[in-house]
């Protein structure tokens, strides 16, 4: 059925009765990182009402509803860098938080996403998920698959603002100065850090690259090679759930001195080990600049704690999140590419 043009208003309407799934989203970005928020997904809500934990809900959605993820984040509705969050309210999944979230990306489901948390903090206030927000700042409790984090969101009495900050789950160094053999690059030394997900960290110079001047494709390829090498050569362990014991990606840094006042530039290919090494102190703020957009984030360790057998810290991350629009996506049953395709 063709689209219909209304009178002289110049407004084009979609087909009256799309033959398939319809998904409504709120679109945001944090420092250029996109976030496609799904405020309501019936199958996720129904599963949550059965009393499933968020990790169990994550497994069930991955097993039975993965076509939704692919439709949202893959081409033609998304792209290789698209990220999404399904909002879940109530039940064991939210576990006393204002909301819970499932994080979706091109390859699957992550346990934590800092840029998504910053955006979801604003979303929670502006879309009424927090009953009585207070000025000048409201605390928003958000249940992630890795645990509960708290976002602190500016509130002027009618709408949210920036910057947003959040306190992480306990972050720790799983390994430091770990020698890894990376095909095509030889031996490199990495640190493995956890702050909701596990990442490998290393100076890009070890790979013969510079995060500010090297081609993005070369940085991505090298970081991906490090990720795969670490997965094969190092066994990860999570103190609470082996569902969370996986390496999410690699972060390449510029190797700048931790005590420098200058922003450090990095590229994250899908902090904490510096505190573990004694290179930064509690409440010492570090500024991080995106190598692609130039956007700035800040981070600092605000509290020492224990997480299982690990010495850990609670990290505060701050950044700016902005709305970019809303969307209604249709998945027509007869479309041979209805569930998307992945174009690298």
Specify burial of residue 164 (Cβ count, 10 A radius: 0-12, 13-18, 19+). buried
CB 203 within 8 A of CB 212: no
Pick the catalytic residue from 113, 144, 146, 268.
113
Rounded Cα distance between 112 and 130, Å, is: 21
Rounded Cα distance between 117 and 114, Å, is: 5
Rounded Cα distance between 188 and 92, Å, is: 43
Told to judge if 113 belongs to the known catalytic residues of this protein, a careful annotator would answer yes
Helix (H, G, I), strand (E, B) or coil at 229: helix
Rounded Cα distance between 40 and 85, Å, is: 10
CB 275 within 8 A of CB 267: no
Helix (H, G, I), strand (E, B) or coil at 93: helix
**Closest among 325, 334, 336 to 20, alpha carbons compared:** 334
- Say how many residues make up the chain: 344
CB 190 within 8 A of CB 200: yes
Q: Which residues, listed in sequence order, are joined to residue 264 by a DSSP beta bridge?
A: 288
Catalytic residue numbers read: 113
């Amino acid at each position: 059925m063709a689209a219909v043009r209304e009178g002289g208003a110049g407004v084009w309407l979609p087909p009256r009765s799309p033959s398939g799934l319809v998904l409504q989203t709120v679109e945001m970005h944090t420092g250029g990182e996109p976030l496609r928020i799904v405020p309501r997904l019936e199958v996720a809500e129904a599963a949550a009402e059965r009393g499933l934990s968020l990790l169990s809900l994550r497994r069930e959605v991955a097993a039975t509803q993965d076509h939704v993820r692919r439709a949202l984040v893959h081409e033609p509705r998304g792209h290789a860098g698209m990220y999404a969050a399904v909002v879940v309210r109530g039940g064991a999944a939210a576990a006393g938080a204002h909301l819970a979230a499932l994080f979706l990306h091109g390859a699957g489901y992550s346990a934590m996403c800092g840029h998504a948390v910053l955006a979801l903090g604003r979303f929670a206030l502006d879309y009424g998920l927090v009953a009585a927000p207070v000025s000048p700042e409201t605390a928003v409790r958000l249940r992630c698959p890795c645990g509960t984090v708290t976002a602190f969101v500016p509130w002027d009495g009618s709408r949210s603002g920036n910057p947003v900050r959040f306190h992480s789950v306990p972050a720790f160094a799983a390994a430091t100065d770990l020698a890894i053999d990376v095909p095509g690059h030889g031996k490199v030394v990495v640190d493995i850090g956890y702050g909701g997900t596990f990442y490998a960290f290393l100076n890009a110079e070890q790979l013969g690259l510079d995060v500010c001047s090297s081609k993005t494709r070369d940085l991505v390829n090298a970081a991906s090679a490090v990720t795969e090498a670490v997965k094969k050569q190092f066994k990860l362990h999570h103190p609470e759930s082996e569902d969370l014991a996986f390496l999410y990606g690699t972060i390449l840094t510029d190797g700048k001195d931790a005590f420098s006042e200058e922003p450090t530039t990095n590229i994250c290919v899908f902090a904490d080990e510096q505190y573990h090494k004694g290179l930064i102190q509690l409440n010492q703020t570090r500024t991080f600049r995106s190598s692609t957009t130039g956007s700035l984030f800040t981070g600092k360790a605000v509290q020492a704690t224990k997480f299982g057998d690990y010495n850990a810290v609670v990290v505060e991350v701050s950044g700016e999140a902005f709305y970019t629009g809303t969307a209604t996506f249709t998945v027509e049953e007869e479309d041979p590419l209805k569930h998307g395709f992945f174009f690298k």
